[in-house]
Structure 1
Amino acid sequence: MKTISAIIVNWNNKEAAAACVRSLQAQTGVDVEIIVCDNASTDGSVAHLRGLFPDIRIIQNSENLGFGPALNKGLAVAGGEHLIFLNNDLVLEPDCLRHLSAMLDSSSSLGGVVPKILYTNKTGVLNSFGVDVHYTGIACAHLLDAKDSPNIKSYETACGGIFMFPRSIYKATGGFDPDFFLYHEDHDLSWRIRLLGYRLETCSEAVMGHDYHFNKGVFKFYSSEKNRVMMLFKNYSLKTLLLITPALLAVEAAQWVHAATNGWFGLKLKSYYEIVAALPALLEKRKTVQATRVVSDRVIMGLHENRLQLSGIRHPWVENGLSPFLERYGERIRRWL
């Protein structure tokens, strides 16, 4: 029987984490190694989980490392043949991991398999089924808020969000970028997997529930935007970066307006300073990514969207100005890739 290592990152949400662990213990057809990486919770999470589940492995971090760096600590000690990372507010259907693992074993070209995720507080409504990625790096959950249906089929996606991958992929990629505290860490890993010539596909039979609430906090915008820029710099070729510069400048202008009118202007400035400070490390990472890639940006962009999609944010200027411009520009530059 296949052994799967499931790694949960927890921060101050002991009840949700316990529910996630219970759903992992109820999985059928697979052996599951459960690892919880706790990011210095102050709500008694570690004691609570140890009391309920004495047989699971808990890594107690002395500080909040963020999502990707905490996952890396779990991946480093995981013993499973297949690996999956989880938010603490996910609950898996009993056959979820079995379906993901079987699909992952079905083709050596698969680098990751993505579950269908439904809201726990909206019956039969999708939270995500893969991720749609704009060529400027902005990502939006695929089929967000759509009605679930048995007719929804599996497809190749540019980004996994939550996904299972084989140990060989972990060894080839090194896991998550340790400098991505939160947001885009999954996107960056998905991108690097694709650059190595592997596919990511969704699995409609594998289902999870998500207690999701859209976060409009300023830290999300700051962290997400900083990581998006660093991800693009690492993973696109120089030619592609030059081609998309006008589009990137348009998006940056929109981000500055949003920052100035939504209370994170100072954080936007801070993100630029931090990107510049990280430039030596970024250049080394970029060198590694570009030296090991076997897939062209023409292939990568084949799954990137031209039209901009934003979740939880609506503005006439974006919908009637920025998005149409980006769509037309994206259509034009693809012929030169």
Structure 2
Amino acid sequence: MLRTTVVVVTWRGAAHLADCLDALAAQDRPHRTLVVDNASDDGTAELLARHPSRPEVLRLPRNTGYAGGIAAALSRVDTEYVAWLNDDAAPEPGWLAALEKAMRPGVAAAASRLEYPDGTVQSLGVGLTALGYGADLTAPGTPFGFCGGAALLRTAVLRDTGGVPASFFCYYEDTDTAWRLRLTGWDIAAVPDAVVRHRHGASTRPGSARFHRWNERNRLLMLLRCAPLPVALREWVRFAGITASLPVRRRVPKAANFRLLLRCRVLGEVAIRLPATLRERRAIGTRATVNRGVLWRRWTSG
């Protein structure tokens, strides 16, 4: 019996996608593989057509990012569980079995153990910082959320709690989802036995301007959607204040997220999305069974 659809989102992944598909073919638990191809133009389509595992393919007409790809696939998932998997990730053979075993009553999502190619831990789940950032956990414990690079979720619960924020494009769609799961009373488990080797950054470049733009914008949108309103407003004001101070600062960090134009673009994009984001906040609040402030105090020191 197939209990899980593994959704792999790819964009120009020809250099590493075969390793991911080979690892899925070696799983010791039956499953369905659905690859979302974000309009790749590098031979990915041909690789998918000739791969011996014969995965199902949903080819999109444009690049919708990781969040958009997962969202597009969700309507095609008819199994109890849906797994999210990066195209540059290769799970060990027992990965899916370990995740399915962890889906006890009350658990809506299970986080994998992601490792860098040298075996060091990248993530055992995601914590929530006092500034509202999602931060990968590298020590065993109970996480607030999961890293979307390799995780398992209950399909019906994901749909019932609002699905995937496709407009995020990539980054923070996982922590936003964790917020919504926990606001409706569901738990999230860490599964150290569900091991995945991850070529982190093979599809995107951590530290690049686009990386920081998506991270900063989506963190603010996530907080406006899910967090206590004073926290969301505090972080928006803090981000805007730092941005306004940059032209008169004597020393400005060299990181891309301190570039004035990038930060102004983030503020503009958040402002444009604000009416829709506030409507989404109301919908999330209507479904919630746990107080936002209670969750914030439980999972952060802020």
Q: TM-score, normalised by structure 2?
A: 0.89
Match of 1:222 among 201, 205, 213: 213
The alpha-carbon distance between structure 1 residues 158 and 63, as it changes in their structure 2 partners (threshold 3 A), is same
Quick one: structure 1 residues 293 and 96, their matched pair in 2 at CA, closer, same or farther if it must change by over 3 Å?
same
Q: Which amino acid aligns with 1:228?
A: R
Task: Output the CA distance in 1 between the equivalents of 2:300 and 2:229.
Answer: 20
1:228-307 aligned at under 5 Å gives the runs 228-241=219-232, 245=234, 249-250=237-238, 252-254=240-242, 257=246, 261-262=254-255, 264-306=259-301
Give the structure 2 partner of residue 138 of structure 1.
133
Alignment partners' CA distance in 1, 2:252 and 2:265: 12
Q: Which amino acid aligns with 1:180?
A: F
Deviation at 1:261, TM superposition (A): 4.4
Contact 1:133/1:303, CA 8 A, preserved across alignment: no
C-alpha distance in 2, partners of 1:178/1:273? 19
Instruction: State the Cα deviation string for residues 274-298 of structure 1 (Å, max 9, x = none).
Output: 2111122112101101111111134
In structure 2, do the counterparts of structure 1 residues 300 and 114 end up closer, same or farther at CA, with 3 Å as the change threshold?
A: same
Please point out which of 168, 176, 180 is paired with 1:188: 176
Asked if 1:18 corresponds to 2:9, the answer is no
Offset at residue 260 of structure 1 (A): 7.7
Percent identity at matched positions? Answer: 23
In the TM superposition, what is the alpha-carbon distance from 1:253 to its structure 2 partner? 4.2
Matched residue SS, 2:31: strand
CA deviations 1:62-105 (Å, max 9, x no partner) are: 1111111111111211222111111111000101100100111x
Q: Which residue of 1 aligns with 2:111?
A: 114
Residue 302 of structure 1: CA displacement? 4.1
CA contact (8 A) 1:156 1:202 kept: yes
Equivalent in the alignment of 1:92: 91
Distance (Å, rounded) in 1 between the aligned partners of 2:15 and 2:219 = 31
With the length of structure 1 as denominator, give the TM-score of the two structures: 0.80
Residue type of the partner of 1:220? F
In the alignment, what sits opposite 2:73?
74
CA RMSD of aligned residues (A): 2.2
Corresponding residue for residue 165 of structure 1? 153
Return 5+ residue gaps in structure 1 as ranges: 144-151, 307-329, 331-337
Q: Distance in 1 between matches of 2:238 and 2:229?
A: 19
What is the CA-CA distance between 1:50 and the residue it aligns to?
A: 1.0
Number of residue pairs matched? 290
Deviation at 1:46, TM superposition (A): 0.9
SS in 1 for 2:132: coil
Partner amino acid, structure 2, of 1:116: R
Q: Is the 8 A contact 1:128 1:141 kept in 2?
A: yes
- Mark the runs of 5 or more structure 2 residues left unpaired by the alignment: none
1:63 is the counterpart of 2:58: no
Report the alpha carbon displacement of residue 259 of structure 1 after superposing the two structures with TM: 8.2
